[in-house]
């Protein structure tokens, strides 16, 4: 988001057969959409990669096309969720990896600064200190991509 900085991180799935390295924004986000919840039980907490990413153990990466514009990556050995990836398209020629914040080794620089699909959050959880973050509904988020 706006005043976010970049930090170099690396990470891995639970079993370690897949690793990744990338430059990511320090501003961490939560997605409350139903698909992320079905995929990961709660909100998907993630950080946006900027520029090229390095993936190892590619033969162990399962990719699921969850929509026309994105896929979800996971370790097909241990089941860890690894990333949400926006596919290349007009205005985003290289696509974009959005990594699971929980899979990053050093999370010390992250700041929880935005939530999306807030209108899709279930009634059974709520984060504290909402006023400290940018919060967007589905319509507000999709408007950014028009
Ligand atoms: Zn694994
Ligand atoms: Zn989502």
C-alpha triplet 53, 58, 59: angle, nearest 5°:
170
Cα of 9 vs centre of ligand 2, distance in Å, is 22
Cα of 31 vs centre of ligand 2, distance in Å, is 4
Q: 94 in a domain, yes or no?
A: yes
Cα of 12 vs centre of ligand 1, distance in Å, is 7
Q: How many domains does the chain have?
A: 1
CATH number of the domain where residue 65 is located = 2.170.150.70
For residue 61, what are the domain limits?
6-144
Q: 28 in a domain, yes or no?
A: yes
Q: 1 in a domain, yes or no?
A: no
What is the pLDDT, as a whole number, of residue 90?
83
What is the pLDDT, as a whole number, of residue 4?
78
Over the chain (146 residues), the average pLDDT of each successive run of 10 is: 82 98 98 97 97 97 95 98 94 92 98 97 96 96 82
What is the pLDDT, as a whole number, of residue 1?
45
Which pTM was predicted? Answer: 0.94
């Amino acid at each position: 988001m706006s005043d976010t900085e970049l930090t170099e991180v690396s990470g891995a799935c639970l079993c370690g057969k897949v690793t990744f390295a990338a430059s990511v924004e320090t501003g961490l986000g939560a997605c409350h959409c139903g698909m992320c919840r079905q995929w990961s039980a709660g909100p998907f907490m993630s950080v946006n990669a900027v520029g090229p990413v390095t993936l190892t153990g590619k033969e162990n990466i399962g990719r699921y096309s969850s929509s026309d514009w994105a896929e979800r990556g996971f370790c097909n050995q241990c089941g860890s969720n690894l990333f949400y990836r926006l596919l290349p398209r007009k205005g985003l020629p290289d696509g974009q990896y959005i990594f699971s914040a929980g899979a990053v080794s050093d999370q010390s620089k992250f700041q929880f600064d935005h939530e999306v699909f807030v209108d899709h959050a279930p009634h059974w959880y709520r984060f504290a200190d909402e006023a400290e973050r940018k919060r967007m509904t589905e319509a507000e988020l999709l408007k950014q991509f028009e």
